[in-house]
Amino acid sequence: MTDSPEATALRLGLDIPDFAATGYYGADYGTMKPFHRAGRLLFLSGHVPQRGDVLIHPGRLGDTVTTDQGYAAARATGENLLGGIRQAVGSLDRVRSVVRTLNFVVCTPDYTDVHKVSSGLSDLLVQVFGPDRGLGGRATIGVMALANGACFETWATVELDD
pTM, rounded to two decimals: 0.96
pLDDT of residue 1: 53
Beta strands 95-106 and 137-143, pairing class: parallel
Main-chain dihedrals φ then ψ at residue 50, nearest 5 degrees: -125, 135
Please state the rounded mean pLDDT for residues 87-116.
98
| Four-residue CA torsion sign, 127, 49, 142, 29 | positive
Kindly provide the b/e burial profile for residues 52-79, where b requires at least 16 CB atoms within 10 angstroms of the residue's own CB: eeebbbbbbbbeebebebbbbbbbbbbb
Q: For the domain 5-9+37-160, what is the CATH code?
A: 3.30.1330.40
Instruction: Report the alpha-carbon distance of residue 75 to residue 121 in Å, rounded.
Output: 5
- E strand map for 48-149: 50-51, 54-55, 95-106, 137-143
* pLDDT per position as a tens digit, 26-59: 888 888 899 999 999 999 999 999 998 899 999 9
Give residue 27's pLDDT.
82
Give the pLDDT confidence score for residue 17 in this predicted structure. 97
